[in-house]
C-alpha cells in the first residue's frame, strides 16, 4: 500500500499527462466508485475465512493456534506484496496492477476450498494477501494523488470501503452458509464476484484517471524528515506493530471466541462483525481528525480507548446487543482513527520524495505483525484462557502504544 506521488511511479509506456486530466470530474468520481467497489470486495474477502474458521476447524480438526494463524496469514502476503508491487508500479500502469491483484486474491480464495490440509490452506490464504497488496497499493496511491490536498481524508475514503466490505461480508456469509451447508460456498461466491469486477474495471476505468499524477504536478507539502531514521518514523513503526497485533487478533479470532467459547451459533456470531465494518465507515471523519489534531492526542487517545474496548470485548457476560455496540466502537477507534492516521502520519513524518517509503514502512510493519496476531492469540488462549489473552494482546499492548504516542513530535512532521 505504498503511497507514491512521484513521476517515477508512472511507466513511460503509459504516457499519462501531468496536469488535470481530460474528462469531467463526474466521470472521474464514477470510475473511482467502481474501484472502491472492488476494494470493498477485497475487504469482504478478508472477513470470509475468520467468519468461517470454526467450520473449517471442525472439518480438519485444527488446533486453536493453527486456526488463528490461518485467519491472519493473508496479512503476511500483504506485507510481502507491498515491495514487489511498488516495483511493478514503476513499470506498469496502476490499472493493470490492480486487475492482476484482483485476479490473484480471487483465485486464492477459490483455491482455498480445494485445499487438502493445513499447509496447502496456509499457502492459498497467504497468496490472497499478495493479491490484496497489488489492489490496495495503487488504490492508496491513486487516492493520495487525485485528492492530494486532503490526503488523510482520501485514505479515509478508501478505508470506508473496507468498512463496507466488513459490513456486508458478515451479513451475506451466514446466509450462503445456511443455504448450501458448506463453508466452501461463500468463498466460491465471493471469488466469482471478484472476476466480475475485473471485467467491469477493464471496461469502465480509463487511463487518464487511473494514472493521474496531480500531486506530482502540484508538489504539495513541505517539512518532514530527510531520512527514515528519525524519531517520529521509529515511533510510528512501533505503533504500527502494536496496532497490527491488537487489531488482527480481534479480526482473526473474535468470531472463533464467540462460537467456540460462548457457543454462539453462526447466525448470531458472524453478523456481530458487521458492526466493526459500520465503525470503519467513519474513516473520512477519522482522517479529518488526524489532519487537524495533534498526533499525540489522536494516537494516544485512540490507543487508550482500544485498550478499554479490548478488555470489555472478552467479558463473558456481555449481551449480544452490548457486543454489537462494543464491536462498532472498536471499528471506529481501531480502523477509522488509528489505522487511517497511522498511514497518514507515516507519510507526514517524511519529506515528499520519501512518502512512498513511509507508506511502505507502515504496510510492512503493520501487516507483518498482523500475520502472527492470530497465532499469538491462539497460544495465549491455550495457556491462559480467552479473557486473559484479550487483556494481554489487546489491552496491555494498546496501553504501551498510548505511552509511546506521547513521545511523537508533531512539529517535525510535514504540513
pLDDT tens digits for range 171-195: 888 889 889 989 999 999 999 999 9
User: Of residues 68 and 305, which shows the higher confidence score?
Assistant: 305
Q: Is pLDDT of 150 > 70?
A: no
CA-CA distances (angstroms) from residue 401 to 298, 310, 390? Answer: 12, 13, 16
Q: What is the dihedral of CA 43, 366, 76, 146, to 10 degrees?
A: 50
Average pLDDT value for residue range 14-39: 68
Average pLDDT over residues 289-302: 91
The three grid cell numbers given for residue 390, joined into one nine-digit string:
484479550
Residues 211-217 have a mean pLDDT of: 58
Report in angstroms the alpha-carbon separations of 250 from 35, 98, 185, 342, 394.
27, 28, 24, 18, 8
Confidence check: pLDDT of 311 > 90: yes
Residue 236: per-residue pLDDT = 94
- Phi and psi at residue 350, to the nearest 5°: -125, 160
pLDDT at 136: 79
In which band, very low, low, confident or very high, does the pLDDT at 17 lie, cut at 50, 70 and 90?
Answer: very low
In this structure, what C-alpha cell is assigned to residue 92?
506498469
pLDDT of 350: 78
pLDDT score recorded for residue 42: 85
Given this model, what pLDDT does residue 8 score?
38
Label residue 198 by pLDDT band (50, 70, 90). very high
What pLDDT does residue 139 have? Answer: 80
pLDDT at 109: 93
- 295-313 and 231-256 helices cross at what angle (nearest 10)? 20
Other C-beta atoms closer than 10 Å to the C-beta of 407 total 13
How sure is the predictor about 2, in pLDDT bands with cuts at 50, 70 and 90?
Answer: very low
User: 339-357 b/e with 16+ CB inside 10 Å = b?
Assistant: bbbbbbbbbbbbebebbbb
CA atoms within 13 A on the CB side of 336: 26
Q: List, in sequence order, the alpha helices (H) in 226-319.
A: 231-256, 266-272, 274-280, 283-292, 295-313
Distance CA 295, CA 406 (A): 9
Q: Which residue has the higher pLDDT, 285 or 12?
A: 285
pTM for the model stands at: 0.75
* pLDDT band of 18, cuts 50, 70, 90: very low
pLDDT band at 43; cut points 50, 70, 90: confident
Mean residue pLDDT across the chain: 83
* Protein fold of 21-412: Growth Hormone; Chain: A; (1.20.1250)
Cα–Cα distance between 132 and 2 in angstroms, integer? 13
- Give the residue carrying C-alpha cell 487511473: 210
pLDDT value at 213 more than 70? no
149 confidence band (pLDDT: 50, 70, 90): low
How far is the C-alpha of 215 from the C-alpha of 143, rounded, in Å? 10
Has residue 5 got a pLDDT over 60? no
Cβ neighbours of 295 (radius 10 Å): 23
Quote the cell numbers at residue 187: 468463498
Amino acid at each position: 500500500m505504498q503511497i507514491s506521488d512521484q513521476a517515477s511511479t508512472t511507466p513511460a509506456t503509459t504516457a499519462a499527462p501531468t496536469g488535470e486530466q481530460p474528462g469531467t470530474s463526474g466521470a472521474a468520481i464514477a470510475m473511482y466508485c467502481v474501484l472502491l467497489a472492488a476494494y470493498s470486495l477485497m475487504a469482504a474477502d478478508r472477513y470470509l475465512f475468520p467468519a468461517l474458521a470454526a467450520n473449517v476447524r471442525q472439518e480438519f480438526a485444527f488446533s486453536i493456534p493453527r486456526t488463528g494463524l490461518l485467519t491472519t496469514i493473508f496479512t503476511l502476503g500483504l506485507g510481502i506484496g507491498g515491495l514487489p508491487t511498488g516495483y511493478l508500479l514503476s513499470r506498469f500502469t496502476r490499472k493493470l496492477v490492480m486487475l492482476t491483484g484482483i485476479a490473484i486474491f480471487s483465485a486464492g480464495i477459490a483455491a482455498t476450498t480445494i485445499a487438502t490440509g493445513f499447509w496447502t490452506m496456509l499457502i492459498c490464504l497467504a497468496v490472497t494477501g499478495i493479491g490484496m497488496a497489488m489492489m490496495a497499493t495503487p488504490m492508496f496511491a491513486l487516492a493520495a494523488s487525485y485528492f492530494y490536498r486532503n490526503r488523510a481524508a482520501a485514505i479515509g475514503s478508501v478505508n470506508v470501503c473496507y468498512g463496507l466490505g466488513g459490513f456486508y461480508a458478515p451479513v451475506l456469509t451466514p446466509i450462503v452458509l445456511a443455504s448450501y451447508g458448506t463453508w466452501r460456498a461463500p468463498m466460491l461466491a465471493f471469488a466469482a464476484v471478484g472476476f466480475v469486477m475485473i471485467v467491469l474495471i477493464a471496461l469502465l476505468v480509463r487511463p487518464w484517471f487511473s494514472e493521474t499524477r496531480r500531486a506530482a504536478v502540484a508538489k504539495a507539502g513541505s517539512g518532514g524528515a530527510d531520512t527514515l531514521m528519525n524519531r517520529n518514523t521509529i515511533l510510528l513503526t512501533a505503533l504500527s506493530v502494536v496496532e497490527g497485533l491488537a487489531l488482527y487478533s480481534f479480526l482473526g479470532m473474535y468470531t472463533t471466541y464467540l462460537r467456540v467459547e460462548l457457543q454462539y451459533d453462526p447466525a448470531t456470531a458472524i453478523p456481530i462483525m458487521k458492526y466493526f465494518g459500520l465503525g470503519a465507515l467513519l474513516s473520512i471523519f477519522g482522517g479529518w481528525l488526524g489532519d487537524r489534531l495533534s498526533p499525540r492526542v489522536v494516537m494516544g487517545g485512540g490507543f487508550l480507548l482500544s485498550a478499554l474496548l479490548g478488555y470489555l470485548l472478552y467479558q463473558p457476560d456481555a449481551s449480544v446487543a452490548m457486543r454489537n455496540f462494543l464491536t462498532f466502537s472498536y471499528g471506529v477507534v481501531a480502523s477509522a482513527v488509528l489505522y487511517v492516521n497511522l498511514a497518514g502520519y507515516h507519510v507526514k513524518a517524511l519529506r515528499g520524495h520519501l512518502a512512498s517509503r513511509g507508506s511502505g514502512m507502515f504496510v510492512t510493519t503493520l501487516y507483518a505483525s498482523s500475520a502472527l496476531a492470530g497465532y499469538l492469540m491462539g497460544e495465549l488462549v491455550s495457556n491462559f484462557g480467552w479473557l486473559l489473552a484479550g487483556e494481554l494482546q489487546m489491552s496491555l499492548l494498546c496501553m504501551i502504544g498510548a505511552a509511546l504516542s506521547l513521545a511523537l513530535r508533531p512539529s517535525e512532521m510535514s504540513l
